């Protein structure tokens, strides 16, 4: 514990006496001092005048703009000891200690706490540790070239025991189970022609694996076929392991479950890696989707130990892909935070895996903000359909945190999912999408929309289900659609 340097000035606080000879505490008032970024334990001395009885008092430690909890002291004490947590921001903050005597608050200690050192921005195109002899496109350049992306959602990721029970066992019975048609190459060409540079292809694997973990050949072939649709359209394809994680998933960020499933997870990625080992640099692998702990806690895990196991799955993924050789030895790989969360704890708990090559890893989060705007509720009064200034500031803050944690440190980043439920509020949803894409673009981050731009039967035509939203996304990305750029389909037009 640190004893703060104190001035010799004595600050005497008057108390209401309960009776004669009540002992009044005297606080030695401190000078302004500096508190290190990592924080620590500090104390201020308390002395008393001669008397038979000690008067109590209360105090609070205020950090930044946050008012601290009031603590009550009864009887005699020689000091007020308090803890100051680490300042995990890039701004200094004020720390004060105030005491309350006879309903009068007085600051007796004031200090400025140092902040984290802000990373130095990198020059464009520079990736730390990149091998100059490596001709494969770096992860940073790939993210930039992707421009803007979309999720082929509710398709190859569809799952459920009922599909096996009532379906005919074909790949199509799974692909169409959640209301989407069998994917055609024309759909992906439509996205490419509009200006999208990347498609994320979510795939759920567990219902297509036998007891030994071998993937059914028909399913692997169908996945490969869809991947080829994306690549043939000239876009990047991000292929992942999807609902094998999540609430119903067999993978969990948990010590015991990791021990029992790590072999199966590595075996799955060996098969995927082997199948695609000779594919070019526009095929990107993503280790897993939204992994949760054994208690299925979203946003933040029940215990911080869960971060260790989500990081281990990421490391296993990288190791297996690299060991498979071929183009996988330098393929760009995406590693996801716990639950794909973008909160402070998730970002702090995430560790980029060790790799055998430099500059070929990408970090990923998902973000549906603000919560009350993005999600639908049974009771409409619980949510909102309006994207206002506060909502915009929330997204700006999320992007700034991703920039500080990843891109400013030379770690490329994508937002693999963002979007909002349709509440018959297209104009507001366009505002949200524009806010995400424009702010992310400025931070060097690429966004992948989930997922109604072309939905349901419209995918078979194919045609756009939400052309206004498409135009908002492309405009925010600095692109123009070549599909039908009429005035009536542009954002802001009536």
Instruction: Assess whether the previous peptide bond of 462 is cis (omega < 30° from 0).
Output: yes
**Which is it for the CA torsion 455, 456, 457, 460, positive or negative?**
positive
Q: Enumerate the β-bridge partners of residue 96.
A: 62, 110
Catalytic residue among 175, 286, 417, 428: 417
CA dihedral 219, 268, 200, 319 (to 10 degrees): -150
Catalytic residue among 175, 281, 286, 290: 290
C-alpha distances (whole Å) from 11 to each of 8, 27, 33 are 10, 6, 18
Spatial contact of 101 and 54, defined as CB atoms under 8 Å apart: no
* φ/ψ of residue 279, rounded to 5: -70, 155
Spatial contact of 84 and 42, defined as CB atoms under 8 Å apart: yes
DSSP track, 309-338: HHHHHHHHHHHHHHHT-GGGGT--EEEE-G
Spatial contact of 225 and 182, defined as CB atoms under 8 Å apart: no
- Quote the Cα angle for 449-451-454, to 5°: 120
- Residue 190: exposure state from Cβ atoms within 10 A (0-12, 13-18, ≥19): buried
3-state secondary structure of 296: coil
117 is an active site residue: no
Spatial contact of 348 and 88, defined as CB atoms under 8 Å apart: yes
C-alpha distances (whole Å) from 225 to each of 104, 184, 229 are 74, 10, 6
- Residue 380: exposure state from Cβ atoms within 10 A (0-12, 13-18, ≥19): exposed
**Which is it for the CA torsion 151, 153, 159, 165, positive or negative?**
negative
Beta strands in 49-103 (DSSP E): 53-54, 57-63, 71-73, 79-84, 93-101
Nearest to 369 by CA among 402, 344, 391: 391
Spatial contact of 464 and 474, defined as CB atoms under 8 Å apart: no
Spatial contact of 388 and 435, defined as CB atoms under 8 Å apart: no
For the beta carbon of residue 425, count every other beta carbon within 10 angstroms. Answer: 17
Nearest to 411 by CA among 297, 335, 489: 335
233: tokens are 């359209």
52 is an active site residue: no
* Residues annotated as part of the active site: 290, 417
């Amino acid at each position: 514990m640190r004893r703060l340097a104190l001035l010799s000035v004595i600050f005497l606080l008057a108390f209401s006496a309960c009776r004669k000879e009540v002992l009044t505490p005297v606080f030695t008032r401190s000078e302004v001092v500096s508190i290190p970024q990592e924080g620590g334990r500090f104390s201020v001395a308390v002395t008393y005048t001669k008397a038979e009885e000690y008067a109590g008092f209360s105090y609070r430690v205020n950090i930044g703009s946050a008012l601290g909890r009031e603590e009550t002291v009864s009887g005699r004490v020689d000091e007020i000891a308090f803890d100051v947590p680490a300042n995990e921001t890039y701004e200094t903050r004020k720390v004060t200690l105030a005491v309350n005597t006879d309903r009068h608050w007085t600051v007796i200690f004031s200090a400025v706490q140092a902040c984290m050192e802000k990373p130095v921005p990198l020059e464009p195109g520079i990736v730390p540790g990149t091998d100059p002899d490596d001709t494969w496109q770096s992860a940073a350049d790939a993210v930039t070239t992707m421009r803007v992306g979309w999720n082929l959602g509710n398709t190859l990721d569809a799952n459920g025991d009922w599909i096996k029970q009532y379906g005919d066992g074909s790949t199509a019975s799974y692909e169409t189970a959640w209301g989407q048609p069998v994917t055609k190459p024309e759909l992906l060409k439509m996205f490419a022609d509009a200006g999208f540079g990347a498609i994320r292809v979510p795939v759920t694997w567990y219902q297509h694996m036998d007891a030994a973990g071998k993937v059914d050949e028909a399913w692997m072939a169908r996945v490969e076929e869809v991947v080829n649709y994306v690549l043939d359209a000239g876009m990047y394809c991000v292929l992942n392991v999807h609902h094998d994680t999540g609430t119903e998933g067999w993978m969990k960020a948990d010590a015991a479950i990791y021990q029992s499933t790590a072999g199966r997870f590595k075996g799955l990625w060996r098969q995927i890696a082997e199948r695609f080992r000779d594919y070019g640099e526009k095929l990107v692998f993503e280790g897993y989707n939204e992994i949760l702990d054994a208690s299925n806690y979203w946003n933040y895990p029940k215990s911080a130990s869960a971060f260790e196991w989500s990081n281990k799955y990421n490391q296993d993924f990288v190791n297996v892909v690299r060991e498979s050789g071929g183009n996988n030895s330098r393929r760009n790989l995406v590693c996801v935070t716990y639950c794909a969360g973008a909160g402070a704890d998730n970002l702090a708990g995430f560790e980029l895996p060790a790799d055998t090559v430099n500059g070929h890893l990408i970090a990923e989060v998902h973000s549906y903000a603000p919560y009350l705007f993005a999600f639908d509720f049974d009771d409409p009064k619980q949510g909102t359909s309006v994207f206002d200034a506060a909502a915009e500031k929330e997204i700006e803050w999320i992007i700034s945190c991703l920039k500080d944690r990843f891109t400013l440190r030379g770690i490329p980043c994508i937002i693999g999912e963002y979007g909002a439920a349709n509440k018959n509020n297209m104009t507001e949803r366009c505002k949200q999408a524009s806010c995400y894409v424009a702010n992310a673009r400025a931070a060097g981050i690429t966004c992948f929309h989930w997922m109604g731009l072309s939905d349901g039967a419209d995918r078979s035509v194919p045609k756009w289900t939400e052309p206004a939203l498409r135009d908002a996304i492309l405009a925010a990305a600095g692109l123009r659609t070549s599909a039908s750029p009429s005035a009536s389909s542009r954002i802001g037009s009536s």
